[in-house]
Amino acid sequence: MPAGPERGTLSGVKIYADRFPTAARQLLTDLLVVAWVYASIRFALWLHDLVQKLAVPGQKLEGAGGGLADNLADAGGKVGRVPLVGDELTAPFTKAAEAARAMAEAGRDQQQLVEQLALALAVAVLIFPLGLVLFGWLPLRVRWMRRAGAAKRLAAAPAGRDLLALRALTGQPLGRLARVAPDVAEAWRRGDDETLDALAALELRRLGLRGSR
């Protein structure tokens, strides 16, 4: 009967350590990262909305200019129907309507400028926090997942214990190696089972893992 999914794994990928201190630290760090990203996005959206309020004068200017231009154009059209002098009377209304349209256009330009500024500021404040996550936390997290997955596969393989022991022998601090055996290198060369088991367990413990059952 095939074994069920191992604790701390997702689709065969090792996500969390087996040992409580390491797993708790990983979980706490992941939660802090999620909170950090959420708070950063919320702050960026808040800043965007705050800057967008600067576009209100432009909206009012556009509305007033557009309404005034329409009224002046309508009045000019009515005056233009006056016999003989209609064309002369229409000219001031036309010029005034053009000026009102220019005012409305200035209002639209101001709104576009504020919108671009709001977007630029929101993106700018997200660069640093998301950069820390993408280029700081995430590579370290993925590297641990790869190492942990490789270590668990080695622990389950027939010759995996020897490879883990060799990794411990070359990577663990000398003080820890000395506690395994007085002459740990010689014991490893002899293939001493007790020393090999201790070295393999030491390497797994460094990643917060337990040996295969």
Q: Are 180 and 195 in contact (CB under 8 A)?
A: yes
On the question of pLDDT at 24 being above 90, the answer is yes
- pLDDT, one tens digit per residue, over 88-145 is 667 676 777 677 778 778 888 888 898 999 999 999 999 999 999 999 999 999 999 9
- pLDDT, one tens digit per residue, over 170-210 is 888 878 887 887 788 888 788 888 888 888 888 888 888 88
More confident residue, 58 or 116: 116
CA distance 69 to 80: 16
CA distance 41 to 43: 5
On the question of pLDDT at 4 being above 50, the answer is no
- Percent of the chain topping pLDDT 70: 80
CA distance 44 to 120: 10
At residue 9, what are phi and psi to the nearest 5 degrees? -120, 160
Region 67-90: what's the mean pLDDT?
61
The alpha-carbon radius of gyration of the chain (Å, integer) is 36
- pLDDT at residue 2 in the model: 44
At residue 81, what are phi and psi to the nearest 5 degrees? -85, -5
